[in-house]
A and B are shown apart, each in its own frame.
Chain A
Amino acid sequence: MARVVVVTSGKGGVGKTTSCASIGTALAMHGYRTVLIDFDVGLRNLDLVMGCERRVVYDLINVTTGEAKLSQALIKDKRLDGLYMLPASQTRDKDALTYEGVGEVIDALKEEFDFIICDSPAGIERGAILAMYYADEAIVVSNPEVSSVRDSDRIIGLLDSKTRRAENGETVKTQLLITRYDPERVEHSDMMSMQDIEEILAIPVVGVIPESPAVLRASNQGIPVVHDAPSDAGQAYSDTVARFLGEEKPMRFVELERKGLFSRMFGGRR
């Protein structure tokens, strides 16, 4: 049974697309057939983060309008078997995407894939609602920062009311992914802790991704950061996906690492 998962946040720039790319990649590494759908019409970026921007020919809207077949629009990942992406349209107007059209595409993808990951645009407008509408589960991405947490709460409210499952009296299983976490600043009481945010939003934390230079490096290269196995962020994403799949994993990179004199003097940032 295919699972439709929306990655959403309300606020922009918190790491939805980065997270989507790494979560999808890690699911494929586990052997699940996974497709990523970019819902950000006009601001397509998932293709860049996945490193397949030069292979985009057709997009989601082309498929919903019948200009292209689904199989023509799907882009196969060059690193992993069983990983595909469906890019967003770059030029058309946002209203070109319809509930019926998206529903048909998702139904067709359910035949082929284990996981359908929807990368939501920022905001709470139609595009964001459309991205979450067919979801069975949600991963809400939040930074430990007031405006991001508040917007996440708003999105959680919408997941409880505007989705198809909500309309049918069911719930969307919603989990929290905290990104750009800095244990040192948390230690100094200059950043809200994971526990603070979990308590305020009242949804379980599926993962915490530390602030890490590896993230920018990965998106620069168009390689999802989870491929960077030695990096902290890469490991945090792979733990997150293991937890998402039901494994018990302790949270890593949430405690301040006590650096010895040696690593202070010679240890650069990885």
Chain B
Amino acid sequence: MKRLRNFFQKESDHSADVARERLKMMISQDRMQRSQPDFLPRLQNELIEVIKRYTQSEQSDIHVSYHSLPQRAQIELNVSWPRNTP
């Protein structure tokens, strides 16, 4: 019945499904940001600065990610840089 109606009703494009997916994405992002400490962006910038001083990393080679575990918090630092082949 529902399928039959949808066949005749092209204009209603299941917008509720789109809303639900967008919201799930947005809210999980919001929640992640909310759980992060306020100093994280500053820490991130300073880390990037220091790393760039020693390596030829680009900004995109440096990944700082924050994990909130039940007992403690954790940051994960992933850095890569091009090797200078002599």
The answer on A and B forming one complex is yes
Chain B residues whose C-beta falls within 8 Å of the C-beta of A187 in the assembled complex: 2
Q: Which residue of A lies closest to B35 (CB)?
A: A157
Choose the segment among B26-34, B48-56, B61-69, B73-81 that binds chain A (4+ C-beta atoms closer than 8 Å). B26-34
B14 touches A189 (CB 8 A): yes
Q: Does B22 contact A (CB under 8 A)?
A: yes
Choose the segment among A20-28, A46-54, A190-198, A230-238 that binds chain B (4+ C-beta atoms closer than 8 Å). A190-198
B26 touches A150 (CB 8 A): yes
Q: Does A200 contact B (CB under 8 A)?
A: yes
Q: Does B38 contact A (CB under 8 A)?
A: no
Q: Is the interface of B mostly helix, strand, loop or mixed?
A: helix
B30 touches A190 (CB 8 A): no
A153 touches B31 (CB 8 A): yes
Q: Which residue of B lies closest to A193 (CB)?
A: B16
25 contacts between A and B (CB under 8 A): A145-B19, A146-B19, A146-B22, A146-B23, A149-B27, A150-B27, A153-B27, A153-B30, A153-B31, A154-B30, A157-B30, A187-B2, A188-B5, A188-B9, A189-B6, A189-B12, A189-B14, A189-B15, A190-B14, A190-B15, A192-B19, A192-B23, A200-B20, A200-B23, A200-B27
Q: Which 8 A-B pairs have the closest CB atoms?
A: A189-B14, A189-B16, A192-B16, A196-B20, A153-B27, A146-B19, A188-B12, A190-B12
